[in-house]
Amino acid sequence: MPGLTFSNELISKDEGLHCDFACLMFKHLLHKPSEQRVKETIINVVTIEQAFLTEALPEKLIGMNCTLMKQYIDFVADRLMLELGFNKVFKVENPFDFMENISLEGKTNFFEKRVGKYQRMGVMSNPTDNSFTLDANF
């Protein structure tokens, strides 16, 4: 089980970095999509995620059920909308307090556990090494 837990931690960190990067890129777009278009996209994605969840977890788990998981998906979508600079869509609370701690950076003792810490891109590079434009038209 420790290997499965560790791999889930790595997946969570990886997805978190991808999301942070996408939100950062969005903030630099010159021609951003409208809030309405982003809202419609988020609502469609939430609907698909919740349909998948209903199929994947038809049985209740200890401390989790389909209703709470759907609420968590709504909560994450709202957090993403805020990160993109828009208003919340679903306006729900996080039903799983323990999920707040998942993305906290942990320190690893080299002799006790495999290190799973990421280094953020560009930490060791000169900011003028690369150039990039964000003028795509949406």
Pick the range with the lowest mean pLDDT from 35-49, 66-80, 98-112, 119-133: 98-112
Query: Cα-flanking dihedrals φ and ψ of residue 74, to 5°?
Result: -60, -45
Does the pTM exceed 0.75?
no
Residues 6+ apart with CB under 8 A from 37: 138
Residue 69, pLDDT above cutoff 80: yes
